Amino acid sequence: MSADRVRTSPGDVRGNATGALELEPRRSPFVFATAQYESGDWDSAPSLAGNIIDTVARYTSLAVEPQGAMVSLSSDDALRYPLLFLTGHLPVRFTSQEGRVIQRYVERGGLLFIDDHNHDIDGAFHKTATEEIARLVGPLQPLPNNHVLYSSFFTFVDGPPTTSHELNGWGDNLVHEQLLAVTRNQRISVLYSNKDYSSEWNFHPDNKRFMGVDPTRFAVNIIVYALTH
């Protein structure tokens, strides 16, 4: 995929050396941003950001920052990132300021990707996070497994790829068939996963060489979707 087809950040108008205004949009590299929030352990997957950046660099020609960012949901700086990743084990209760920023974020076209690090059905994170999203953005609905998200870069015929925490043998055989999402104007605003990608993707990228299939490929789909829709 060509990088210039991808919206990585809003363009701006800058002055050049001669003082003339440049109307060409500025193409900033994609920055993988992890959302900080007050109530839980937002930093429970510290290796994930580097791993996903490695994946983006490995499979795409997207301009990408080599280092991820952590951005507070209490800050308007969150609005600078087209994709925000949020994870944790503990109950999620957003503060009023965090709620306002989230609402503005999705209204302005951001994609908030939430992953339940617990991998359970009705755990504390799941209950509270879905409650909070329903309160702030809208109710989460199952995302069809033929959604364009699953073919935005790699093709996942059966919907979201399973994780080792789900598969019988390693995992608990608790397979979540679908992701959940809040859509606005036929675009995903909030993507919610119970599949524990936070654990699945939380390893050093050098360890990919031991794997037959890179489990982080689905992250490319999410990023490309966020940048192109």
Partner 1 sequence: MSGATAAFAGAAEIRDAMARVRTYLRDTIIGHTLLLGAATGVVAAVLGHAISIFVATALAVELSRTQLALGHWVLPLMVAAAVLLWRVFNRDVITPVRAALWYEERVPSAHAVVTLVEQSVNALSPGVASQLARQAAIAAHETLPARAQLRSARWKAWRVPAAVLLSAGISLFALRSWAMPTLQDNINANAATSTGDASAGASSNRLGTWRVRVAPPSYASRPAQSLTNVGSVRALVGSRVVIEGDGDSQGLAATMADLSLSVSGSDSWQVNVTMPNTPAVVRVSDGDLSRVLTLIPQPDSLPQVQLLTPLRDSVYRDTAGSVQLSASAQDDLGLRLLSFEVILTSGAGEQYTARTITLGAKAVNGARSAQAVHELSFAVLKVAPGDVMHVRALARDLHPVSSREAGVSETRSLRFARADEYDSVAVEAAPPPVVDSSLLSQRMLLDLTEKLESRRARIAREVLVVESRRLATEQARIRRAVSAMVFQRVTGEGESEHVHYEGDGHDHGLTAQAGKLVPGFGGGGVSVMTGAQATGASGQANNNATDESAIVAINRPLLEAYNAMWDAGRALELADPREAIPHMRLALEAIQRARAAERIYLRGRVRLIVVDLARVRLAGKDTGQDSRRRPGERALSVRDVYGNRLLRAAEQLVIDPVAARDSLVALRLDALTDDAPLSAALELVLSALQAGDDVTSPLVRARRALLRPVAGQGVSAWSVP
Residues that bind partner 1 (CB under 8 A): 33, 36, 38-39, 41, 43, 46-47, 49-51, 53-54, 57-58, 64, 66-72, 74-78, 89-91, 93, 95-96, 117-118, 123-124, 128, 161, 164, 167, 169-170, 199, 204-205, 211-215
Which amino acid is present at 59? Y
The least distance separating partner 1 from the CB of residue 83, rounded to whole angstroms, comes to 14
CA distance 193 to 171: 16
Report CA-CA distances (Å) from 188 to 83, 93, 109, 171: 11, 22, 9, 29
Sign of CA pseudo-dihedral 200, 147, 106, 132: negative
Q: Which is nearer to partner 1, 175 or 229 (CB)?
A: 175
Q: Which is nearer to partner 1, 2 or 96 (CB)?
A: 96
The least distance separating partner 1 from the CB of residue 21, rounded to whole angstroms, comes to 27
Q: Which is nearer to partner 1, 128 or 189 (CB)?
A: 128
Q: Which is nearer to partner 1, 72 or 187 (CB)?
A: 72
φ, ψ (nearest 5 deg) of residue 21: -85, 135
The least distance separating partner 1 from the CB of residue 20, rounded to whole angstroms, comes to 31
φ, ψ (nearest 5 deg) of residue 94: -80, 145
Q: 98-133: b or e for each residue (b if 16 or more CB lie within 10 Å)?
A: bbebbeebbeebbbbbbbbbbbbeebbbbebbbebb
The least distance separating partner 1 from the CB of residue 163, rounded to whole angstroms, comes to 9
Contact predicate 68/53, CB 8 Å: yes
The least distance separating partner 1 from the CB of residue 91, rounded to whole angstroms, comes to 5
Q: Which is nearer to partner 1, 17 or 122 (CB)?
A: 122
φ, ψ (nearest 5 deg) of residue 203: -145, 165
